[in-house]
Amino acid sequence: MNATPARPPAVLFVCTANICRSPMAEALFKLRLRDVPGGDTWRVESAGTWASDGQRASENSVKVMASRGVDISAHRSRTVTRELLEGFDLILVMEPGHKEALTVEFPQTAGRVFLLSELSGPPLPVADPYGMALERYEKTADEIDRHLANGMPQILKRLARSA
């Protein structure tokens, strides 16, 4: 009998409206996966705790990602649902309130939800740049990317599969 191959790892990034931080985190993480063997097979997506489905990424998020060689103009926001969460091994959020909201409303996510910063150091929020100047978005993208870089060993460890 042939064993069914394990599905690739799946990571979901969550912020509030899914138009600034989580789409940038999704894009930046996909860039980092270029250096991970098999990273091109991973499922990487984003959603929001209070998102209005179908909204475009904020103009400044699109600009900041474009300056890094990534086009997120096709991004459309979506709200976190139980069904969506079931498909992800690791759920990385931007603020303590996101973590609390997910673990209270969806208790089955316990053990899979972490602040992005938690995997690289102290649990600190990534502030929402919505409505601020482009420079604030650039700083937010830098902060997210720093957390991803520093947290990559923990992310990979948490997603390691038994052979």
Q: Is 128 a catalytic residue?
A: yes
Which residue among the candidates 32, 78, 128, 158 is catalytic per the annotation? 128
Task: Taking each helix axis as running N to C, give the angle between helix 134-159 and helix 59-67, from 0 to 180 degrees, rounded to the nearest 10.
Answer: 70
Place of tokens 């069904």: 83
What distances in angstroms separate CA 24 from CA 1, 35, 57, one per listed residue?
43, 18, 9
- Inter-residue contact 136 to 129 (CB < 8 Å): yes
Q: How many CB atoms lie within 10 A of CB 134?
A: 14
- Residue 6 in contact with residue 43, Cβ under 8 Å? no
Q: Is 40 a catalytic residue?
A: no
d(C-alpha 53, C-alpha 144), whole Å:
23
Residue 36: what are its φ and ψ, rounded to 5°?
-105, 125
Q: Point out the residues that are catalytic.
A: 15, 21, 128
